[in-house]
């Protein structure tokens, strides 16, 4: 009979397998923890942060809500709210018209949003009658000017706000906003949201 084959020494084959197993474990941990470390570093050190944005208004990301604007309402849908700290003049009236058109422009999603006006001063008789006649779904609220000026830092012109169903301020627009940009922003929010 030929020479008996000696079984391989376990200590010789076990060491490379253990080393390979350790490397695999390290790679798995790096794949899980690495992106979190990278994202934290990007946020804290502000590197590789994209300059572009997909929205057109001013993003309100500090947790402010509708009550901090000086408006008391219990709307549970997305809301296009026009605030008029001064008289509701041409800019204000244009934003009210735009808010209604945007809601109509949502098509089948129109029931997920509402439009509203909050004013600090009484409306003119003619405009009040026009709103009652032509804007039957427009919600109207009083605007507490002292609360509003603290939040907005002064009176300023009329503003249009997108407010989520929880009452949080999401985006703010000035009187020169383009309807198409506003509609795109609201459609994007509705697409991303499961609420309202």
State the pTM of this model.
Answer: 0.72
CB 18 within 8 A of CB 26: no
Which residues are 82's β-sheet partners?
117, 160
Residue 73: the pLDDT is 93
Residue 181: the pLDDT is 93
Residue 3: the pLDDT is 52
CB 139 within 8 A of CB 113: no
Distance CA 81, CA 65 (A): 12
Residue 189: the pLDDT is 92
Distance CA 6, CA 3 (A): 9
- Residue 163 exposed, middle or buried by CB count within 10 Å (0-12, 13-18, 19+): buried
Burial 7-17 (b: 16+ CB within 10 A, else e): eeeeeeeeeee
Residue 51: the pLDDT is 59
| pLDDT tens across the length of the chain (196 residues) | 555 555 555 555 667 788 888 888 888 988 888 888 888 877 677 776 655 556 788 888 788 999 999 999 999 999 999 999 999 999 999 999 999 999 999 999 999 999 999 999 999 999 999 999 999 999 999 999 999 988 887 667 899 999 999 999 999 999 999 999 999 999 999 998 887 6
Query: Where are any strands of DSSP class E within 36-191?
Result: 58-59, 78-84, 113-119, 139-142, 159-163, 169-173
Residue 153: the pLDDT is 78
Tokens 């997920």 locate to 112
Nearest of 180, 176, 12, 41 to residue 102 by alpha carbon: 180
Residue 168: the pLDDT is 94
């Amino acid at each position: 009979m030929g020479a008996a084959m000696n079984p391989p020494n376990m200590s010789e084959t076990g060491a490379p397998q253990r080393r390979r197993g350790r490397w695999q474990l390290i790679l798995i941990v790096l794949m899980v923890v690495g992106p979190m470390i990278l994202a934290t570093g990007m946020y804290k050190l502000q590197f590789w942060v994209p300059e572009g944005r997909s929205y057109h208004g001013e993003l309100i990301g500090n947790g402010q809500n509708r009550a901090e604007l000086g408006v008391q309402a219990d709307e549970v849908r997305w809301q296009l709210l026009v605030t008029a700290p001064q008289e509701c003049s041409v800019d204000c009236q244009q934003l009210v018209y735009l808010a209604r058109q945007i809601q109509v422009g949502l098509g089948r999603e129109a029931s997920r949003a509402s439009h509203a006006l909050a004013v600090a001063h009484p409306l003119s008789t003619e405009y009040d009658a026009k709103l009652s006649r032509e804007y039957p779904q427009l919600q109207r609220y009083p605007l507490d000017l002292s609360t509003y000026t603290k939040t907005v830092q002064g009176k300023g012109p009329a503003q249009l706000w997108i407010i989520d169903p929880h009452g949080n301020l999401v985006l703010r627009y000035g009187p020169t906003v383009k309807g198409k940009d506003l509609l795109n922003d609201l459609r994007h929010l509705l697409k991303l949201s499961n609420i309202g």
